[in-house]
Chain A
Amino acid sequence: MRVLIVLAAIAAVSSGCEREVRPFQTLPVASARAQRVVETTLHPGDAPPPATGQNSPFRENAWGVGEGKRLFTYYNCSGCHANGGGGMGPPLMDDKWIYGYEPANIFQTIVEGRPNGMPSFRNKIPDQQVWMLVAYVQSMSGNVRYDALPSRSDHMRYSTPENARRAQTPKQTGPR
């Protein structure tokens, strides 16, 4: 009995905290890349770089994922990706990943842009927020921890909320 309680407590400590912290300032300000002016927002498509295995600092963090969801609307990602269902741009809630499903790949996709319309957000979105977006993009196909998945928003219902979808095992499909 007592042992069980202790174990439960330990489990809670290890899981609960990670999920519930509010890391308002994950990355030190200095760590962001230096500004440089870019001429075009389009970027020549090349093969996805090898996954560095670096993970989003918000992968385990419900708040970060939630902020990512908010930024996804703020920065009008839905304009092309339509809440993840896909429109002009590819869907994000399925298991197909054209340019790689590793967090590092997603990060690069956002920062560098991709052919056929994905603009580069270099210098436009601070790394901290990019990582939030990465975590949210992963959550759309259920690839963050279950209890950190966002639930329904206070808008019109567009699809089943992230925490009600079946998790997809990501597949690398490569450029169309």
Chain B
Amino acid sequence: MTDAELLERTWYVPRGVLGWLSVADHRTIGKRYLVTAFAFFLFAGVLAGLMRIQLAVPNNRFLGPDLYNQIFTVHGTMMMFLFAVPVMEAMGIYLVPLMVGARNIAFPRLNTYSYFVFLCGGVMLVATMLLNTAPDVGWFSYVPLAGPDYTPGKRADFWAQLITFTEVAALAVAVELVATIFKLRAPGMTLNRIPLFVWSILVMSFMVIFAMPAVVTGSSFLLMDRLVGTHFYNPAEGGDPLLFQHLFWFFGHPEVYIIFIPALGMVSSIITTFTQRPIFGYTALVLALIATGFIGFGLWVHHMFATGLPQLGLHYFTAASIVIAIPSGVQIFCWIASLWRGRPRFETPLLFVIGFIIIFVLGGLSGVTLASVPFDLQVHDTYYVVAHFHYVLIGGAVFPLIGGVYYWFPKITGRMMDNTVGIVNFVVLFVGFNVTFFPMHQAGLMGMPRRVYTYPADMGWNTVNLISSLGALLLVIGGAMLIYNMVTSYLWGAVAGDNPWNADTLEWGTTSPPPVYNFLYPPVVEGRHALWERTAAAPVVTGGRLDCRECLVTDVMDGEPSNKTEFPGPTIWPFVAAIFTSIMFIGSIFTAWAVPIGTVPIAIALILWFWPHAPGHDIGAPEEESTPVVEARAS
């Protein structure tokens, strides 16, 4: 047998339904993550459309307050927790192992588990929306409104548990990515040769790890207050409503950067490829990413300027919020410099990056105005803020993401996306976006608060709102074009080949789509731009075992080969554990007993997950081959 056949057999992707549920490789899970996240994106987008219909004209009776409040809550929650963060992590799951030259992501079974937990959480939220049981207290559900006294029933509990779902999933992925980036890099990939996208994913993972525990704490307190009558947020018994805001925003602000930093990595990759030059100021860009990651934790209070905290403190947070504009500025300048120096090829991915710069800079500048305490006191919680964060989130994250989709689609599917459709798609989205969200600045300055289900006719807000609603129509068309282009290209698109863009990073050094074992010979990196600097007699890693899922573990700093580890194969138990976890989470909305009782099956599933040769491992394995694999593992 050739090496390829042996690897094919060892790294098999299991077949059959059970196989589908037990698959444990980063490409499959990454793709599922992407598709699922985009599905939630569409759902939340439809909800946004409904809101724009309601707000198109004053005193509209299309939606009542009850339904409208559910819709905007689910829209925000779903976009933040079920689309933005997971989709960025999905890109990391799929691309990082390829970019660092590994055969798989670290802890692949944990990866499977996290996907199914994420899926169950998302399905739960969609179900609540369809069953008129959706949370209706805003995506940061402030207490006491979200507390037991003012939101009877289970609506807010579903919000709190959705947080738990998504955080469990996100934290697991963050740990995998950190381990992958630190220990599974190809030999020779020293710290200063790590691709910028991988750097951004690393920073994002660390931010996830340090930010999310805060919101888990906050939402668990909320759940306990509602279910078992604790008093964390009850001012009459020594609790404090503001505590929730602190806990939430200590997570909530880094959250924005968790979403936005991987996008910056995509921008850098795309600019490098489409200028065919090394990016300008690699070190500066890396340091900027890290600085953003740190400062991002220092400015949560700028969401609470109106709560009457001590003035001096507020000014500190003004300063901090303004300081974070500096690393962003540095990156913008570096990208502009790269574009100036290089020879830009104006294809769809680069267009989206240019759109990103135009939109994001405006959003960033309106962010600077928001950081100023006095001005924020006026525009806080108005449509000005709505405009601002859509500029930074859609402009700053979704545009690069779509650019990234156009860029990496060939690698993932093996087929190119249509460039002409792509260009039109870009124009429609760009115009649609600005027509939708730019007028919101003015609506806010004219005194329109956010989260209003309707507004009086005599406030002068009618025109701006109508324009926004019309722009939303364009956005819908743009989204449809994107889907159309993805589907048609997937079916009939031009075959891509290994490296259609002549890009520099390792993922383009293997076939498109990559084989189950990623690289026939694990690559060795000789420069920052692995493929551009690859010599004819480029060294490769040899001596690795082909008959078991062995991977090379390298040193954190200089990427020197250090030792070898064997990855576990596919198994059903992560899926089972995820299902039991979900049952426990949802059950604990109704009774606290779900926690002690629910943990038992979870524990059993986990034990079988880790138990060598437990039944359920190697499901869907090619029969005749499955034996030697097991022997190899036992030896």
Contacts and interface: CB of A to CB of B under 8 A. Distances in A.
Q: Do A and B bind each other?
A: yes
Interface of A: 9, 12-13, 16-17, 19-22, 24, 62-63, 65-66, 146-148, 150-157, 160-161, 163-164
A62 B154 contact: yes
Nearest to A68: B152
A151 B148 contact: yes
Nearest to B227: A151
B231 A20 contact: no
Interface stretch (B125-133, B291-299, B390-398, B459-467): B125-133
B132 A16 contact: yes
Nearest to A152: B229
Q: Which of A9, A63, A152, A156 has the most CB of B within 10 A?
A: A152
B133 A151 contact: no
Find the residue from A16, A63, A156 having the highest chain B CB count within 10 A: A16
25 contacts: A9-B127, A12-B127, A12-B131, A16-B128, A16-B131, A16-B133, A16-B154, A17-B131, A19-B153, A20-B131, A20-B153, A20-B155, A62-B152, A63-B152, A66-B152, A66-B153, A147-B153, A148-B153, A152-B148, A152-B225, A154-B236, A155-B234, A157-B229, A161-B229, A164-B229
Contacts, number: 78
Contact of B226 (A12, A151, A157): A151
Contacts of A163: 227, 229
Contacts of A22: 66
B237 interface: yes
Contact of B132 (A9, A21, A24, A146): A21
B234 A154 contact: yes
B235 A154 contact: yes
Contact of B229 (A12, A146, A151): A151
Contacts of B227: 151, 163
A7 B149 CA distance: 32
A13 B152 contact: no
Interface centre among A9, A24, A65, A151 (most CB of B within 10 A): A151
B144 interface: yes
A147 to B, nearest CB: 6
Contacts of B128: 16
Contacts of A156: 236-237
Residue from A24, A154, A156, A164 having most chain B Cβ neighbours under 10 A = A154
A17 B133 contact: yes
A21 B56 CA distance: 26
Contacts of B127: 9, 12
Interface of B: 66, 127-128, 131-133, 144, 147-149, 152-155, 225-229, 231, 234-237, 590
A152 B226 CA distance: 7
B556 to A, nearest CB: 42
Nearest to A64: B152
Nearest to B128: A16
Given A19-B153, A154-B234, 13 more contacts: A12-B127, A16-B133, A17-B132, A20-B133, A20-B153, A21-B132, A62-B152, A63-B152, A66-B153, A146-B590, A151-B226, A154-B148, A154-B149
A64 to B, nearest CB: 9
Nearest to B151: A66
A17 B152 CA distance: 13
B109 to A, nearest CB: 20
B131 A152 contact: no
A17 B147 CA distance: 20
A161 B226 CA distance: 10
Which 3 A/B pairs are nearest by Cβ-Cβ distance? Answer: A66-B152, A62-B153, A151-B148
Contacts of B149: 66, 151-154
B613 to A, nearest CB: 25
Contacts of A157: 229, 231, 236-237
B317 to A, nearest CB: 28
Contact of A20 (B132, B229, B590): B132
B148 A147 contact: no
A22 B69 CA distance: 12
Contacts of A66: 149, 152-153
Residue from the set B149, B154, B225 with the largest chain A CB neighbour count within 10 Å: B149
A92 to B, nearest CB: 19
A153 to B, nearest CB: 5
A160 B228 CA distance: 10
Contacts of A146: 590
A17 B154 CA distance: 11
A66 B155 CA distance: 14
A62 B152 CA distance: 6
A19 B154 contact: yes
A160 B154 CA distance: 19
B148 A153 contact: yes
B154 A20 contact: yes
